[in-house]
């Protein structure tokens, strides 16, 4: 599709270029469509657009602390549901010992992000070691189990009735952000062959249409002698991601897209140098992402646009209201002191509105909506 030159309308005081050289004393707010890809306007306000004094109603920014979730069962299907819609399900599961059964998701592809721990994944395609910070992409209806070498915490992102694909890198080319050559796949090796001969019955817990079906075999069904093709489990570590950067312009989250599925995208924020231009914004700009719900899982580091958010926490900003940096983070960014970011986070942008699951007392911080108030 041709992108013809168009000149934006202008009214009152404004900057010549978005996110740069704002009018003195102003706060920029982007109103955009299609998740930073569609038409947009930029407002310049006297006051921070998130400077509300009170909020009533359920459509509000929320923060969840997954560290306060109760103990979980021995199967991924015991994972605690957090947020969901008809295209997407976000859950969290902890595994402390080797699984004695297999699981298979008949409802969609699974993206597992290893927040903590390490171990080995055994699946239809072979054996795949994994470590902290890995993404594991598991195609729909693949049978799998894990054997932890250290207790594992997984963020589980289901593409319900969908599949994961690589994000379009546009003019940057297919090798930008990460070269597909860094992707790893399971191997049919000696360890895999050895586990295939384990005697006795094996159960496969198949999740389909949201219900569990138990299939029992008198042998281990992970007994492949080999395979060929272009469909398999994939592994990518955040350390292999080399983000797009601009020293003079703050790039939107869409520049950090990693995986795409029907009606949502997964982005990865990794350490990078800060913008160096004196007039460029150095934290995410205030914006209305009115077509997408935004979810961020904080893996490690100090997230540069947030206050009092720790590793293992999740924030959810439903579409329909302005959000952006916390006051303290904004003030720090304007001092031009930091040279680089150090956070790692997984962001999920959902085109369809998400629903919050019923969670145990204490998991949600009800005061998060007030965290943008000036002290």
Model confidence at 31, pLDDT cuts 50, 70, 90, reads: confident
353 vs 88: CA distance, rounded Å: 10
Q: Quick check: 333 pLDDT over 70?
A: no
Model confidence at 21, pLDDT cuts 50, 70, 90, reads: confident
Model confidence at 337, pLDDT cuts 50, 70, 90, reads: low
Higher pLDDT, 308 or 152: 152
Report the pLDDT value the prediction gives residue 356, as an integer from 0 to 100: 97
**Does residue 323 have a known ligand-binding role?**
yes
Q: Which two tokens stand for residue 232?
A: 């398999």
Burial class of 144 by CB neighbour count within 10 A (0 to 12, 13 to 18, 19+): buried
Report the pLDDT value the prediction gives residue 2, as an integer from 0 to 100: 63
Report the pLDDT value the prediction gives residue 276, as an integer from 0 to 100: 86
**Does residue 293 have a known ligand-binding role?**
yes
Q: Which domains does the chain have, with CATH numbers?
A: 27-63+245-365 (2.60.120.10), 71-238 (2.60.120.10)
Model confidence at 220, pLDDT cuts 50, 70, 90, reads: very high
Phi, psi (degrees; rounded to nearest 5) at 127: -110, 135
Catalytic annotation, pick one of 19, 42, 115, 250: 250
Residue 187 · residue 126 · CB < 8 Å? yes
- How does the average pLDDT of the chain come out, rounded? 91
**Does residue 175 have a known ligand-binding role?**
no
Report the pLDDT value the prediction gives residue 304, as an integer from 0 to 100: 61
Model confidence at 334, pLDDT cuts 50, 70, 90, reads: low
Q: Quick check: 150 pLDDT over 90?
A: yes
Model confidence at 19, pLDDT cuts 50, 70, 90, reads: confident
Q: Quick check: 1 pLDDT over 60?
A: no
Q: Quick check: 375 pLDDT over 60?
A: no
Could you tell me the pTM of the whole model?
Answer: 0.92
139 vs 234: CA distance, rounded Å: 9
**For this structure, is 42 an active site residue?**
no
Query: Helical H runs in the chain?
Result: 190-196, 327-333
Model confidence at 336, pLDDT cuts 50, 70, 90, reads: low
260 vs 262: CA distance, rounded Å: 7
Q: Quick check: 149 pLDDT over 60?
A: yes
Q: How many CB atoms lie within 10 A of CB 41?
A: 15
Model confidence at 161, pLDDT cuts 50, 70, 90, reads: very high
Model confidence pLDDT, tens digit, residues 289-325 = 778 999 999 999 987 656 678 999 999 999 888 888 8
What percentage of the chain has pLDDT greater than the value 90?
A: 62
Average pLDDT of span 87-111: 97
What percentage of the chain has pLDDT greater than the value 70?
A: 96
Report the pLDDT value the prediction gives residue 20, as an integer from 0 to 100: 85
């Amino acid at each position: 599709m041709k992108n013809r030159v168009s000149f934006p309308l202008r009214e009152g005081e404004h900057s010549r270029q978005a996110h740069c050289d704002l009018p003195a004393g102003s706060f920029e707010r982007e109103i955009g469509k299609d998740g930073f890809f569609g038409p947009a306007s930029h407002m310049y306000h006297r006051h921070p657009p998130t400077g509300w004094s009170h909020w009533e109603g359920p459509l509000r920014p929320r923060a969840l602390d997954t560290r306060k979730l109760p103990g979980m069962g021995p199967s991924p299907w015991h994972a605690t549901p957090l947020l969901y819609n008809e295209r997407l399900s976000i859950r969290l599961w902890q595994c402390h010992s080797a699984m004695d059964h297999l699981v298979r998701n008949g409802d969609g592809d699974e993206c597992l992000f290893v927040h903590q721990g390490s171990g080995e994944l055994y699946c239809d395609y072979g054996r795949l070691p994994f470590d902290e910070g890995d993404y594991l992409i598991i195609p729909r209806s693949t049978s799998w189990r894990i054997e932890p070498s250290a207790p594992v915490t997984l963020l589980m992102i289901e593409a319900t009735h969908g599949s994961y694909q690589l994000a379009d890198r546009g003019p940057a080319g297919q090798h930008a952000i990460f070269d597909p050559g860094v992707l790893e796949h399971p191997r049919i090796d000696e360890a895999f062959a050895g586990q295939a001969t384990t005697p006795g019955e094996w159960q496969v817990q198949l999740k389909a249409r949201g219900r569990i079906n138990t299939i029992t075999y008198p042998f281990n069904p992970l007994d492949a002698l080999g395979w060929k093709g272009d469909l398999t489990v994939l592994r990518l570590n955040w350390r292999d991601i080399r983000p797009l950067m601009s020293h003079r312009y703050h790039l939107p989250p869409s520049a950090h897209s990693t995986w795409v599925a029907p009606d949502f995208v997964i982005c990865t924020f990794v350490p990078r140098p800060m913008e160096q231009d004196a007039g460029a914004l150095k934290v995410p700009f205030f914006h209305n992402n009115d077509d997408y719900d935004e979810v961020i899982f904080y893996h490690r580091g100090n997230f540069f646009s947030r206050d009092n958010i720790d590793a293992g926490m999740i924030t959810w900003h439903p579409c329909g209201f302005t959000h952006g940096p916390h006051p303290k983070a904004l003030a720090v960014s304007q001092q031009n002191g930091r040279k680089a970011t150090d956070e790692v986070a997984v962001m999920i942008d959902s085109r369809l509105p998400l629903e919050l699951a019923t969670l145990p007392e204490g998991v949600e911080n009800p005061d998060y909506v007030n965290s943008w108030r000036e002290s």
